[in-house]
Structure 1
Amino acid sequence: MNKLLPILTVVVAIMVVWYAAAVGMNKKWALDQAERAGISLSTGALISDTWSQDRPRLPAPHQVVAELWKSTGGMVIKGKPFSKRSLIFHGWITLSATLAGFVIGTSAGILLAVGIVHNKAMDMSVMPWAIASQTIPILAIAPMIIVVLNSIGVQGLIPKAIISAYLSFFPVVVGMVKGLRSPDHMQLDLLRTYNASGSETFWKLRLPSSMPYLFTSLKIGMAASLVGAIVGELPTGAIRGLGARMLTGSYYGQTIQIWSALFAAAILAATLVGIISLIERRMLKRMGAA
């Protein structure tokens, strides 16, 4: 209970601010409609109206929750979980690109990190380029990647996966390099005393020592990969995926739809990061590190 109380306090504070902001941002429409109808709204009626508009500037929390349920659980009850109006369908499309990009980015990041740690030339050449690559805004490079790949007939999942990999590989590179270099000189000298080879030093010392760093970077990489998948859906005018759902909502002024897609993405990211955390705890426990 002591751990839950601070969390609940923050959640309640966010809800209070959110509901108050919804009144402030949506009251102009309510007052304009009342003026046109020649009626006067009481404070209670004004608040009720601002929390129940079909196309509010800022939807109230219960409107977002209702839309989430309607487009997930409601679709399951109707037997249409993969309908084009279902967030389960759109979430699956985004999840596929996220996981593909995460696997590509993580694999590339780990391989680059190993090369950087064991090869001074790569350390001097590759690492600066890896850092420089992250200075390019993803919103600028995503359309370029999609256009180039479309010109050679590559469409669908692969362009989004490449954009996801672009965002996810960097934290893995940095975290893995830090982890592989975490053993101190005494530990390395001890293995040299035992006449351990470079590969034995890597497998028995460097790699186990890097696990906490790796899992931390994997959590960041997973969240970044999801962002990359959503960003990859925006410039294409896609009709499938959480990014496409947000885009469609912006076209038609469906702010509740936009917010429900945003929350679906946040829930998806939290779930994926939670799975990595679970794997981390079990693996480190087996290694005796936690």
Structure 2
Amino acid sequence: MIRRLSDRVAQGQTIPVLVVVGALVALWYGFAVYLNAPWQLDLYAKAKADWTAADLVRDTLNQERPVLPAAHQVFAEIWATTVDRPVTSKRSLVYHGWITLSATLLGFAIGTGLGVVLAVLILHNRAVDRSLMPWVVASQTIPILAIAPMIIVVLNAIGLSGLLPMALIWAYLRFFRVVVGLVMGLRRPEVQLLDLMHTYNASAWQTFWKLRWPSAVPYLFTSMKVAVAISLVGAIVGELPTGAVAGLGARLLAGSYYGQTIQIWSALFAAAALAAVLVMLVGIGNRLVLRRMGMTP
């Protein structure tokens, strides 16, 4: 890893990224001062206190409930809620992140399995293709904010509660990307290759396993990268209208109720980091599988 980082620095690929990050952080602090200044000036006026520009900058960047928290406040909150608190505490980001991650992974598995099954059916049955594919596309036009409470209420009525109803919501967001990507990959082999398999008297299963599936694997992993991030976003969004008491969505909701903007931003950064890790893990799995199949060196 150190050698790869040094190679990137030598090739001039790291410095531009650091410049962009530095510019974003500077803009962040600038907007934090600008947006928090009216409240701070009002406090100065009420207290009839003398102040300088340095005082204004310092105080706006250290408000207890700022309009826009500064970067150091957000990262201090992340440190306090991950390192300084036990993971079993309901104020720990690790605890809430695990709740959201559990539902995301279960929904990811259900959605991927359902997507693979539907893609195979669509490939091998023209009637299923013509009848099912339009419904698959139409299903994604229903907003998750509208359907999530309905799913929770219906499943609770039949005795299903806890993690499974939430996971089914994430699977609903997940399977569409898998179906579309996998169908595209399964239909990718050229006609000449399919005729060659037919010439060798290969069965439909052999053609699928030896030709269609290897060509579809890169498409599958690409759709999985997109879907795993969307599943996490859906998990967080789905927690909001369902009144969840645990999870990153619940953390966001509690922060908005009590005006804790620092808590909101820390939960957002935790969600972004979690999504980045999930996408990275899918990418690593993609490279390992393709290398195992001999498709990459």
TM-score by length of 2: 0.94
Other-structure match for 2:33: 23
Contact map agreement 1:160 1:228 (CA 8 A) in 2: no
2:291 matches 1:285? yes
Question: Please, which of 216, 224, 227 is the counterpart of residue 221 of structure 1?
Answer: 227
2:55 matches 1:45? yes
- Give the gaps of 5 or more residues in structure 2: 1-8
2:245 matches 1:234? no
Other-structure match for 2:119: 113
Matched length: 286
Contact map agreement 2:107 2:168 (CA 8 A) in 1: yes
2:9 matches 1:9? no
Matches within 5 A, 1:79-98: 80-98=86-104
Q: Residues 18-38 of structure 1: CA distance to partner in whole angstroms, max 9, x if unpaired?
A: 111111111111110001011
Separation (CA, whole Å) in 2 of partners of 1:193 and 1:183: 15
Of 221-230 and 109-118, the range deviating more from structure 2: 221-230
Of 179-188 and 151-160, the range deviating more from structure 2: 151-160
Structure 1 residue 278 displacement after superposition: 0.6
2:62 matches 1:56? no
- Give the gaps of 5 or more residues in structure 1: none
Of 86-95 and 230-239, the range deviating more from structure 2: 230-239
The one-letter code sitting in structure 2 at the alignment partner of 1:264 is: A
The one-letter code sitting in structure 2 at the alignment partner of 1:50 is: T
Separation (CA, whole Å) in 2 of partners of 1:5 and 1:202: 46
2:145 matches 1:139? yes
Structure 1 residue 49 displacement after superposition: 1.2
Other-structure match for 1:181: 187
Q: Residue 74 of structure 1 aligns to a residue in which SS?
A: coil
Other-structure match for 2:250: 244
Separation (CA, whole Å) in 1 of partners of 2:139 and 2:158: 24
Structure 1 residue 12 displacement after superposition: 1.3
Query: Identity, % of aligned pairs?
Result: 61
Q: Residues 3-24 of structure 1: CA distance to partner in whole angstroms, max 9, x if unpaired?
A: 2223212211211111111111
Structure 1 residue 158 displacement after superposition: 1.2
Question: Please, which of 207, 210, 214 is the counterpart of residue 213 of structure 2?
Answer: 207
Separation (CA, whole Å) in 1 of partners of 2:290 and 2:20: 31
The one-letter code sitting in structure 2 at the alignment partner of 1:202 is: F
Q: Residues 81-111 of structure 1: CA distance to partner in whole angstroms, max 9, x if unpaired?
A: 2111111111111111001100000000011
Question: Please, which of 250, 260, 270 is the counterpart of residue 266 of structure 2?
Answer: 260
Separation (CA, whole Å) in 1 of partners of 2:161 and 2:19: 46
TM-score by length of 1: 0.96
Structure 1 residue 63 displacement after superposition: 0.7
Question: Please, which of 165, 168, 183 is the counterpart of residue 162 of structure 1?
Answer: 168
The one-letter code sitting in structure 1 at the alignment partner of 2:89 is: S
Separation (CA, whole Å) in 2 of partners of 1:175 and 1:29: 50
Structure 1 residue 169 displacement after superposition: 0.7
Structure 1 stretches of 4+ moved >6 Å = none
Of 280-289 and 47-56, the range deviating more from structure 2: 280-289
